[in-house]
Homo-oligomer: A and B are copies of this chain.
Amino acid sequence: MTGAQLFFKCENLQKTGSFKIRGASNAILSLTEQEAAQGIVTQSSGNHGAAVACAAAWRRVPAWVVMPKNAPAVKAKIIEGYGGKIVFCEPTVTARKATCVRIQAETGAHLVHPYDDDRVIAGQATAAKELLEEEGDFDAVFAPVSGGGLLSGTCLGAKGIRTDVRVFGCEPGRADDAYRSLTSGTLQSLESSDTIADGLRASLAPRTFEILRRHVERILLVSEEEIISAARLVWERMKIIIEPSSAVAIAPLLKPGGVASLNLPKRADGGAPKLGVIFSGGNVDLSSLLWK
């Protein structure tokens, strides 16, 4: 269908249903006893919250999770299932930050930011690292971008194994701050977004912006319709549940001429381009379908 050889890193099958457990567990398990003692606090559209709740439970400390009140119900249920305490806030970056600061002040909890944290980025890097260690000579790797934790980690993990692999970020047109940041060369922000890819509504931090501007080939934008249609194709043919944020990473390859437009150099073996796609997670609210 795409004219390429595709390999998938299925983080939808990962513990807690997304790649987020990689960064959260790396951060939380590396804290000193004193840092961890009062518990953990984080802000999250859901998957990072579940991961923090899970890793905090492994560490036997409490976790407070600040999440926007428009996040899918299934994500709140999962966080509570891991013993996390949910604090709802308005769905804006400003409100999330303010609520997080308030909880830190009240409880003394240690902040594990979803992406503006080197320990978190190092954890997320292991997904691409494993993919390249297992499947070798990729021409390019594709990951969704939101705050940039996964995409930064993908750059570091993939290029650490294979210097000349290209890394593309994939982003909803309705939450295009990474695209605008990288094309303008200045960090852009996104106060809020209603993209169906509910895991991709955050904005880059200076830390992730710096990594991406050095390592990412470019950002590929996709429409809401392309996200939904890509998700449906994967459910129908691959028989796995991916959330819309995961579909964003394959949607650019399914556009007519999508792979050709990447202008990848010819492979030495003369074969079709070998591409790695990171499916970030599989937590969707199954009380309704994404499509009608």
Contact = CB atoms under 8 A, between A and B. Distances in A.
Interface of A: 12-13, 17, 74, 232, 235-236, 238-242, 282, 286-289, 291
A284 to B, nearest CB: 9
Closest 7 CB pairs of A and B: A239-B282, A239-B241, A12-B239, A236-B286, A240-B240, A13-B239, A235-B241
**Interface core residue of A74, A232, A241 (most chain B CB under 10 Å):** A241
A99 B291 CA distance: 37
Contacts of A242: 239
A13 B232 CA distance: 16
Nearest to A234: B241
Given A236-B74, A239-B13, A239-B17, A286 B289 contact: yes
11 contacts: A13-B239, A235-B241, A235-B286, A236-B241, A239-B240, A239-B242, A240-B240, A240-B241, A286-B289, A288-B289, A289-B289
Nearest to A77: B236
Q: In the assembly, how many copies of this chain are there? A: 2
Contacts of A240: 239-241
A168 to B, nearest CB: 24
Given A13-B238, A239-B240, 13 more contacts: A13-B239, A74-B236, A232-B286, A235-B286, A236-B241, A239-B241, A239-B242, A239-B282, A240-B240, A240-B241, A241-B241, A288-B289, A289-B289
A290 to B, nearest CB: 10
A25 to B, nearest CB: 19
Contacts of A241: 235-236, 239-241
A253 B71 CA distance: 32
Contacts of A291: 286-287
Contacts of A12: 239
**Interface core residue of A12, A17, A240, A282 (most chain B CB under 10 Å):** A240
**Interface core residue of A239, A282, A288 (most chain B CB under 10 Å):** A239
A286 B287 CA distance: 13
Contacts of A289: 286, 288-289
Nearest to A290: B286
A150 to B, nearest CB: 18
A282 B240 CA distance: 9
A135 B238 CA distance: 24
A14 to B, nearest CB: 9
A220 B13 CA distance: 29
Nearest to A18: B239
A188 to B, nearest CB: 33
A72 to B, nearest CB: 12
A286 B238 CA distance: 13
Contacts of A17: 239
